[in-house]
Amino acid sequence: MSYTYSHVVLVGIDGAGIFFKNAKTPFIRKMFAEGAGTEKGLTVFPTESAQCWGTMLIGVMPEVHGLTMQNITADKYTKRAEHPDIFSLIKKYRPEAKTGSFCHWNDINVGIVDGVEGVVTKRGQDEPLTEKACEYIKAEKPDFLFVHLDSVDDAGHGCGYNTEKYLKQLDIADGYAERIYNAVREAGIADDTLFIVTTDHGGTGGSHGGWSDDEKYVFFVMTGKTVVKGARADMNVISIPAIIAHALGIPADPLWQSSVPDGFFSE
């Protein structure tokens, strides 16, 4: 029987691709040294935020979940009955679960999370949003928390991906992720938390959406008491909801196209 975690925290750094390799990012590098993941995983096509985050939270490919940059801004997710997002699935099996979605890009809250009863949603710039997330962790010890940071993608659009200013912002976001992890420790739940840091896509020049290497390759890393130190696997971002469900001891939705990569967990 697999070990069941009481808490999962997912930190998503929008637009980070695999460019952490060109930045300092001490926290992400420490996680790779202590945990499991991939330094060159695949996202989905097109490499747009709605399609990518949708796949990571819903467990099916973009052509199935149907989210686009056009409809996520106006409509809450209308296919939840067909393909539940990870928040809905957690609430199904843990009705009293404390869950949160703290997003710089509020369209995730509006387009996907809105309509799931009991999910705490917050929006804001990365710095105050990180502080809100830390306060929430220490006060509520949530079963599942998703934190979306967007300043790196903003830097990519504004200054170019993989440029000096972009990499400096990536280091700042790395620090935000570390602050969130430290809040988990201060809350006294680190030993029973699966902590994940990942991204949705990269970029080239000042944009993304295509299928170049700089756009399609992404990193994923996690740490936890049953995570196999140093384990690496080829994976797509669609694996993420199955990993979260597995960690929390709940069945993945049978219609999901999501599965847990082999070798990441010791039990």
Average pLDDT over residues 166-172: 98
Q: What single-letter DSSP state applies at residue 213?
A: H
Give this prediction's pTM.
0.97
Tell me, what's the pLDDT at 112?
A: 92
Q: How confident is the model at residue 157 (pLDDT cuts 50, 70, 90)?
A: very high
How do residues 186-221 score in pLDDT, each as one tens digit? 999 999 999 999 999 999 999 999 999 999 999 999
Q: Output the CA–CA distances (angstroms, integers) from residue 84 to 6, 57, 60, 90, in the order listed.
A: 21, 9, 10, 10
Decide: 20 and 219 in contact? Cβ < 8 Å.
yes
The answer on pLDDT for 75 being more than 80 is: no
Decide: 96 and 115 in contact? Cβ < 8 Å.
no
| Structure token pair of residue 240 | 């993420």
Q: What single-letter DSSP state applies at residue 234?
A: -
Identify the weakest region by mean pLDDT among 51-55, 113-117, 248-252. Answer: 113-117
3-class DSSP string for 136-152? HHHHHCCCEEEEEECHH
Amino acid at 171: D
Tell me, what's the pLDDT at 126?
A: 98
Strands (E), 152-226: 193-198, 217-223
Q: How confident is the model at residue 5 (pLDDT cuts 50, 70, 90)?
A: very high
CA distance 16 to 167: 9
Average pLDDT over residues 71-94: 88
Average pLDDT over residues 43-51: 98
List, in sequence order, every residue forming a beta bridge with 7; answer none if it has no partner: 193
CA distance 42 to 238: 9
Token look-up 């009293």 returns 96
Decide: 17 and 218 in contact? Cβ < 8 Å.
yes
Tell me, what's the pLDDT at 82?
A: 85
CA distance 232 to 262: 9
Of 204, 105, 123, residue with least CA distance to 156: 204
Average pLDDT over residues 37-56: 97
CA distance 34 to 28: 10
Domains, in order of start, for the chain = 7-248 (3.40.720.10)
Average pLDDT over residues 145-165: 98
The answer on pLDDT for 81 being more than 80 is: no
Decide: 99 and 143 in contact? Cβ < 8 Å.
yes
What average pLDDT does the chain have?
96
